[in-house]
Structure 1
């Protein structure tokens, strides 16, 4: 029973902290006149793109079911929520950085970085599900960080 209480505290405590962070962030952005049309466009586009990532994750889970792998509903929903929120945040961050830079990021570098992140997360998640060992997900952290750095670092020009 203690694990379930800790899970409830984590679930609702995390949601509460997330909502408070979002609210304070928007309040500060409003004071600095940061909630303009460009901001709305960037985050609307990010939400739209994140649904494509969520759709891919749904197809991956359906494929795993067709291959006979048993999946836990809570695990699947948790991973789908993580995929959706992470892709939304990362896409919004990339678009925000790209719109505020003098020289925009090269789309090929961004796509390459996102591909590294997606392939590593999908591979290690499938490996974790098939083996039942969730420690494999920790191995996905280094390639994910490398992919993010690759996607968000502008190309250096030598002058």
Structure 2
């Protein structure tokens, strides 16, 4: 019973905190004139791209089912929700940085970084599901950080 109460508190508390963060963020952005056409374009594009990541996650879970891996419905829905929101946020941040920099990020570096993150998450999530040990997901943090840093760091110019 205690686990269910903690799960409910985390589920609804996380949703409430997420909505409050979104609301306060939009309120602060509106005060600073940040809710313009560029903002709307960036986050609309990020939502669109995040659906491709979500679709890939759904196909991965269907593939796991085809190969006989038993999956818990709540776990699958949680991972799909995490993939959707994380890819939405990461894509929005990358697009925001890229649109607001004087020199845009190199697409090859961004693609490499996103690929590192995606492959790392896929491998460690599948390993966690197969072994039933969720601590394998902690091992995905270093490659994910390397991928994010690679994607979001502009290439240094050698000109003096």
Instruction: Give the alignment's TM-score, normalised by structure 2.
Output: 0.99
Counterpart CA distance in 1 for 2:57 and 2:3 is: 28
Kindly report the root-mean-square deviation, in angstroms, between the aligned alpha carbons of the 2 structures: 0.4
- CA shift at 1:158, angstroms? 1.6
Q: In the alignment, which residue of structure 2 is the partner of 1:32?
A: 32
User: Secondary structure in 2 aligned to 1:3?
Assistant: helix
Q: Which structure 2 residue ranges, 5 or more long, are not aligned?
A: none
Count of equivalent residues: 159
SS at match of 2:141: helix
Superposition TM-score, scaled by structure 1 size: 0.99
Gap runs ≥5 in structure 1: none
Query: Runs in 1 of length 4+ with deviation above 3 angstroms?
Result: none
Q: What is the aligned partner in structure 2 of residue 125 from structure 1? A: 125
The equivalent of 1:155 in structure 2 is 155
Output aligned runs, 1:35-114, within 5 Å.
35-114=35-114
1:97-137 CA distance string (max 9 Å, x none): 00000110000000000000000000000000011111100
